[in-house]
Amino acid sequence: MIQQQGLSLKQAGGNAECKPDVRLLTDMEPQKADILIVTVKSYHVESIIPYIKTLFTNTRSVLFIQNGMTHIQYLPQLQDHSIYLGVVEHGAMRASDACVSHTGIGRTKVAPYVDGHAGINWEGLKSEAFPFILENDWYAMLSRKLHINSVINPLTALFNVKNGRLLEVPQWTELMRGLSREACNVLRINRMEAWEDLVQVCQNTSKNTSSMLRDLEQGRQTEMDAINGYLVQLAKQDNINVPNHEFVFRAVKGLELLKGRGDRNG
């Protein structure tokens, strides 16, 4: 569809269209590019790695934009590349198979995976509607996002509500507190700062449907493994109690199983 119709972008500043040269990985010739940006879901990163090694040997810089941290384990396989990690704060939704709707301008944060990278002048690439910020601590950057995702995503998916509801229902805000506290223990980040950050994001995205709820609604696999599943694994290694994350992990994985089978009601 994209090959035939091109891609279109709906945004406040005016719509845009382009006709990108899209190919399946299996149909692709080796490429040389300024940068390779990998935006597959975290659970697909592992299967992409061999293609990067063979098709992009001459492309030095690779930017990985995924939720959670489970994909980090595969990056050491890419010894010959300069790796960046990124998180995106734009509001965006797939309006149809060949159309993306840009619903809110946000920052794209980028951090080098190991020190000493050069190559991409991120600050030079930014525009008003598409700002880049170069971070120096990828772990802090990803763990901050992981903490937020691990609270907002499963609760909105479980209760079938938009993000803002979690702050309107006091009992659910208590559940946010429990999940946040546990995530901070596991990720070893400051509880108070993390909580303020979380509330801020929840307010800013109050009208949004979380990606996890959207995945469930559409019968797709969620990113539960990379988000709460990752925290549960890490907690087990470090002997930290995370009963709330264990609960939401099992609850949402069960919903995923049922909705993936097409049984949406009862």
- Active-site residues, by number, are 145
Q: How many residues bind a copy of itself (CB under 8 A)?
A: 28
Single residue of 191, 220, 253, 260 touching a copy of itself by CB under 8 A: 253
Q: Least distance (Å) from a copy of itself to the CB of residue 160?
A: 6
Distance CA 42, CA 61 (A): 19
Q: Rounded to an integer, what is the distance from CA 9 to the centroid of its chain?
A: 20
Q: Least distance (Å) from a copy of itself to the CB of residue 202?
A: 15
Window 200-239: residues binding a copy of itself (CB under 8 A): 209
Single residue of 172, 199, 206, 234 touching a copy of itself by CB under 8 A: 172
Strand blocks (E) in the chain: 7-10, 16-18, 35-38, 61-65, 82-88, 91-96, 99-104, 108-112, 132-134
What's phi and psi for 199, nearest 5 deg?
Answer: -65, -40
Alpha-helix residue ranges (DSSP H) falling in 127-207: 138-159, 165-168, 170-187, 191-204
Q: Least distance (Å) from a copy of itself to the CB of residue 14?
A: 30
Distance CA 240, CA 228 (A): 14
Is 266 an interacting residue with respect to a copy of itself (CB under 8 A)?
yes
Shorter beta-carbon distance to a copy of itself: residue 174 or 238: 174
Is 167 an interacting residue with respect to a copy of itself (CB under 8 A)?
no
Is 161 an interacting residue with respect to a copy of itself (CB under 8 A)?
yes
